[in-house]
Amino acid sequence: MMDRNDDERIAGRLNGDQPESPRESMALRLVHMVIIAVMLSLGQTVLTLLTVVQFVVMLINTGERNQRLADFGTDLGIWMAKAARYQSAASDVKPWPWTDLD
């Protein structure tokens, strides 16, 4: 279970200050959106594999999760949320690899 500090840290990563990004042409935005859509699809596949591996680990370890896998899942989820914000035009800030992976 995550404590309050973890929740605040994650909220800051999702909704914190965003760097000012210059406006791009609609054609370039479309190219970025297509690339990010492919990356999101790949991310969903990775998340599915992570889910299966974490479940097997928990079966073997009598319910004890692997913290590194859990942290990776959190990071992946944050990246996917940032990508979704760009895809839906809620943000003009592109996710990693165009910006820092925080």
Exposure pattern of 63-93 as b/e (b: 16+ CB <10 Å)?
A: eeebeeeeeebeeeebbbebbebbeeeebee
Q: Determine, yes or no, domain membership for 9.
A: no
Domain that holds residue 85: 26-94
Q: Is residue 12 part of a domain?
A: no
**How remote is the C-alpha of 52 from its chain's centroid?**
18
- The mean of the pLDDT values for the chain is 89
**Domain presence at residue 58:** yes
Number of domains present in the structure of the chain: 1
pLDDT tens figures, 16-47: 666 666 677 999 999 999 999 999 999 999 99
Q: What is the pTM of this model?
A: 0.77
Lowest mean pLDDT among 6-10, 67-71, 83-87: 6-10
Q: Which of 96, 101, 100 has its CA nearest to residue 35?
A: 96
- Please report whether residue 100 resides in a domain: no
Answer whether residue 17 is part of any domain. Answer: no
Whether the predicted pLDDT of 13 surpasses 80 = no
20 belongs to a structural domain? no
Domain annotation covers residue 21: no
